[in-house]
Amino acid sequence: MEQNNATALFLRGQTFYCLNHFHEAFLDFYDALKLEPNNADMLILRGEVYLNFEHYYNACLDFEKALEILPEDVIALFYCAKIYFELKQYNRVLSNSSKALIIEPNFVPILILRGSAYYHLKKYNKALEDFSKAHKIESNNETVLKYVKNAYNEFNFTSMKDTIAKSKYHKKLAEMGNANVNRINNIGILL
């Protein structure tokens, strides 16, 4: 293959990536980006390869450069937020995930990520809102139910504010249907 054809290198790199041959994919993306350094798709895929190598700094650089080119790329926003979450930079997670949710409001992994950031910041009401929305979109997702349960259980029900919130979310959970309420009860929420 010609080593000066960025498209061919990119496509071969994608194939290697799909086959979990990350080293070969990285080499092709690296060479392709030498030819087309401002190709956001290539930057995002190379960033994903860096993530597989656990090279978070380089991955973040690629995602941030892709966002300079395409500021509304939901995948780049998601991966940046994911890296910031691992670095415990929860306010940056909130910033990137909120931008992504403006563009794609029903993207469940971003709802879960933002909800998790709120949870770590002890903003349980907001965490529960995101987890509940994710559950509404994917009602059979057991992982989302666990997030709902964990956020719900963090409320301090001795305070009036949290008691009102409990009532509000109890009604929401009931609206989701008895089957889902029973599934939540089985996970351990006492309603």
Maximum CA extent, the chain: 69
**Amino acid 3: pLDDT:** 59
Structure token digits, residue 173: 């959970």
Least confident of 52-66, 80-94, 115-129, 176-190: 176-190
Encode pLDDT of 130-145 as tens digits: 999 999 999 888 888 8
User: What distance in Å separates the CA atoms of residue 127 and residue 102, rounded to the nearest whole number?
Assistant: 17
pLDDT band at 190 (very low <50, low <70, confident <90, very high): very low
**pTM to 2 decimals?**
0.77
Every domain of the chain and the residues it spans: 1-71
> Using CA atoms in the order 94, 100, 102, 104, what is the torsion angle rounded to 10 degrees?
-140
Give the chain's end-to-end CA distance (angstroms, integer): 63
- Encode pLDDT of 32-69 as tens digits: 999 999 999 999 999 999 999 999 999 999 999 999 99
Report which residue type is found at 6.
A
Task: Give the whole-angstrom CA distance, residue 9 versus residue 44.
Answer: 15
Does CATH place domain 1-71 in 3.20.20.60? no
